[in-house]
Amino acid sequence: MQVLNISSKYGAWKEDIDCIYYEAINSLKEIDEISYADKVIAYHWKGRILLTDPRTFIEKIRTLSSIILINEDDLEQIKKEFGPPPQLSNGLLDTIAYYTIVTEGIKSYIKREKRVEVPVGPTIFLIPEKISRLYLDIMEKYELKKDDLQALLLYKNPIEIILKIALFHEIGHCVFDNELELKNYKHDKYRKIISEGMANWFAYCLLNKDGKKVLDIISQKEPEEYKKYRLFEDYNKDRKKRKKFDLFVRACLECNVSKVEEAFKTLTPQSFRE
């Protein structure tokens, strides 16, 4: 994986981004325990039980060929030339960064216009200019509860926390979207919930306490599907519901869209399905 800067003023972020990428990979290597239940191996990972080895996520993350820093206008131009990627959602996190595939066409366009050689394959476009503003935007535009506002003010480096949240979220898309082939699954009403919910859930699992708190604050004002990680998280905490949750995660990872739909139905209370 290469971190490349096409046109951002924040080229100095390259090193931090590289570190965050490896932090995600290393944290997925930490499995606490492997146990046998119902002849199925369950993995204990960061206080969670998963029927799938979280280390398999690493293989998917390794398919990322690059993380590209770009300014807002240039990214708009690429979207205009090549069509935007299927817009799954317009949540805050996906406006500051997004996961997509660099095609031969995009590669030669960037080479011609920006004289930068980018590899073909899965990538994350990051807009550092927007990431650096997001914290202020949240403070200004959100009507935050007093406690949340105070919590945000306490962080020494809120931009770094938001960068991490954005990157983990997009890496989450790299893990889950590919496998589900969500792009060809246009009419699925659960699509956004699975995609955004799982991406946020993935980020939530990897974040430390401060990161989790900030993600909770950001998600308050996000579209519904971005909040669904709370649902996944609640299921994971409730032992009785854990099995259903694990089946859901496993179905997602097995790339089987109809199974995912089935699992989601059993996982989701009636009120979430309407």
Q: Which residues bind Zn ion (CB under 5 A)?
A: 94, 196, 199
Question: CB 163 → Zn ion: shortest distance, Å?
Answer: 15
Comparing CB distances to Zn ion, the nearer of 35 and 87 is 87
Any bridge partners for residue 34, and if so which? Answer: 43
Comparing CB distances to Zn ion, the nearer of 70 and 171 is 171
Question: CB 36 → Zn ion: shortest distance, Å?
Answer: 35
Comparing CB distances to Zn ion, the nearer of 48 and 169 is 169
Six-digit token pair at 178?
A: 């590919």
Going by the DSSP 8-state scheme, the letter that residue 38 receives in this structure is T
Comparing CB distances to Zn ion, the nearer of 74 and 94 is 94
Going by the DSSP 8-state scheme, the letter that residue 247 receives in this structure is H
Q: Which bin fits 172, alpha (ψ -120 to 50), beta or left (φ > 0)? A: alpha
CA of residue 266 relative to chain centroid, distance: 24
Are 192 and 88 in contact by the 8 Å Cβ rule? The answer is yes
Question: CB 195 → Zn ion: shortest distance, Å?
Answer: 7
Nearest to 194 by CA among 207, 208, 217, 178: 178
Unique residue bearing structure tokens 């599907």: 225
With a CB cutoff of 8 Å and minimum separation 6, the contacts of 163 are: 13, 16, 17, 20, 126, 128, 131
End-to-end CA distance of the chain: 40
Amino acid identity of 74? Answer: D
Comparing CB distances to Zn ion, the nearer of 102 and 199 is 199
Comparing CB distances to Zn ion, the nearer of 17 and 199 is 199
